[in-house]
Structure 1
């Protein structure tokens, strides 16, 4: 199955949403390459970046689920590269 690299930028505006966010990310853990979270106490937010290597439908499903969580803002950027086989 063809996969793509995607970067999700997530802004958490309320700490009450973090448990649901983490539970949802855990469901897709096998497709997550890396995660970086940066708390920003001055603005009372957290910024999280997620790198994925997954089929488009998986990336879209996760992005949609995260976007439905209250106080979570998310944007996804896709690489133009597709599966590893295409890059040999």
Structure 2
């Protein structure tokens, strides 16, 4: 399949409960991640993570799906054109 760049945005609404699960999935897909930027908003107890990922459509679907199954995590993905 054809690889392309994607941007994934994660909103972690409860950092304490979701942190370990999110990091586990991110480590599973570390070979695809080209950029990771995390922004903790401690006063609100949330975290925002931006990812730039290079993968095929099936891999992105599986990756976003696993992240989206974690309680208190909202995921949005967008494919970037070449």
TM more than 0.5: yes
Band of TM-score, shorter chain: over 0.9
TM-score (norm 1): 0.87
User: What is residue 23 of structure 1 aligned with on the other side?
Assistant: 24
Cα deviation for residue 36 of structure 1 reads 0.4
TM-score (norm 2): 0.93
User: What is residue 80 of structure 1 aligned with on the other side?
Assistant: 81
Q: RMSD between aligned alpha carbons? A: 0.9
Size of the aligned set, in residue pairs, is 81
Unaligned stretches of 5+ in structure 1?
Answer: 82-88
Do residues 8 (structure 1) and 23 (structure 2) align? no
Query: What secondary structure, in the 3-state scheme, does the structure 2 residue paired with 1:2 have?
Result: coil
Query: What secondary structure, in the 3-state scheme, does the structure 2 residue paired with 1:80 have?
Result: coil
